[in-house]
Chain A
Amino acid sequence: LAKTTQPISMDSYEGQEVNITCSHNNIATNDYITWYQQFPSQGPRFIIQGYKTKVTNEVASLFIPADRKSSTLSLPRVSLSDTAVYYCLVGAPGAGSYQLTFGKGTKLSVIP
């Protein structure tokens, strides 16, 4: 079974760049890496997705090394509203069906 590992929590001051790394050693060849953001009492919300190298959108960047065994979500110049839990998701084959394994999530606290 594929598993992901993320730091449990991180603190950052407003305006700083935050990097959250997810380890996924058993990632399969066809799997994509997807990051979600979750605020309290809400469902997760898509942030960014990638397969390899670097992906950037208006919200974040995603860095994936050549071996794809980890990925780093980069949030530029965080604000208080970025305080949330961030989940790393990869698909992995298992028992005849694809399993979606969310990481345990990283709780990001942005400090004024």
Chain B
Amino acid sequence: DTAVSQTPKYLVTQMGNDKSIKCEQNLGHDTMYWYKQDSKKFLKIMFSYNNKELIINETVPNRFSPKSPDKAHLNLHINSLELGDSAVYFCASSQGGSVAKNIQYFGAGTRLSVL
């Protein structure tokens, strides 16, 4: 069984559309994350939730809205997609406690292409 799974793996859409990426972890972890990796391979944290509560919220356009229905799921909804949103988005989870210490387990990524 995949520990951290993201769907879809690929997402191609037009500018202005709204899309969602889903993430689920079966590791029993308390903390989940969303990262964005751009074409230059920079990996930047976007959000982090601990037990369904937002604990990290980086400088991200408010078109991006994370939603955590339970601690095993952290979905990412993006409104009014722009060309610059094209990237690979990674979901991750960790056990909880000190965010700075915890080892993160990453999903395989969702490659978003905005046309």
- B109's nearest neighbour on chain A, judged by CB, is A43
Given contacts A85-B41, A87-B43, A105-B41, is CB(A32)–CB(B56) below 8 Å?
Answer: no
Which residues from chain A contact B44 at a C-beta distance below 8 Å? 102
Which residues from chain B contact A56 at a C-beta distance below 8 Å? none
* A34 near B43: Cβ-Cβ < 8 Å: no
Given contacts A85-B41, A100-B45, is CB(A91)–CB(B99) below 8 Å?
Answer: yes
**Chain A nearest Cβ from B90, distance in angstroms:** 5
Given contacts A32-B101, A46-B103, A99-B58, is CB(A41)–CB(B109) below 8 Å?
Answer: yes
Which residues from chain A contact B104 at a C-beta distance below 8 Å? 36, 44, 46
B17-51 contact mask (Cβ, 8 Å, vs A): 1 or 0: 00000000000000001010000111111001000
In this complex, how many residues of chain B approach chain A with their Cβ under 8 Å: the count is 27
User: Is A81 engaged at the interface, CB distance under 8 Å to the other chain?
Assistant: no
**Chain A nearest Cβ from B101, distance in angstroms:** 5
In this complex, how many residues of chain A approach chain B with their Cβ under 8 Å: the count is 28
* A46 near B100: Cβ-Cβ < 8 Å: no
* A100 near B105: Cβ-Cβ < 8 Å: no
**Chain B nearest Cβ from A71, distance in angstroms:** 14
User: Is B112 engaged at the interface, CB distance under 8 Å to the other chain?
Assistant: no
Within 8 A of A (CB), among B57-105: 57-58, 90, 92, 98-101, 103-105
* A49 near B106: Cβ-Cβ < 8 Å: no
A18-55 contact mask (Cβ, 8 Å, vs B): 1 or 0: 00000000001011101010100111111001000000
**Interface residues in chain A, defined as those with a beta carbon under 8 Å from any beta carbon in chain B:** 28, 30-32, 34, 36, 38, 41-46, 49, 85, 87, 90-92, 97-102, 104-105, 107
Q: List 16 A-B contacts (CB under 8 A).
A: A30-B98, A32-B98, A41-B108, A43-B106, A43-B108, A44-B90, A44-B104, A49-B101, A85-B41, A90-B100, A91-B99, A91-B101, A97-B56, A98-B56, A100-B56, A102-B35
State the 5 A-B residue pairs at the shortest beta-carbon distance, nearest first: A91-B100, A43-B106, A102-B43, A32-B101, A100-B45
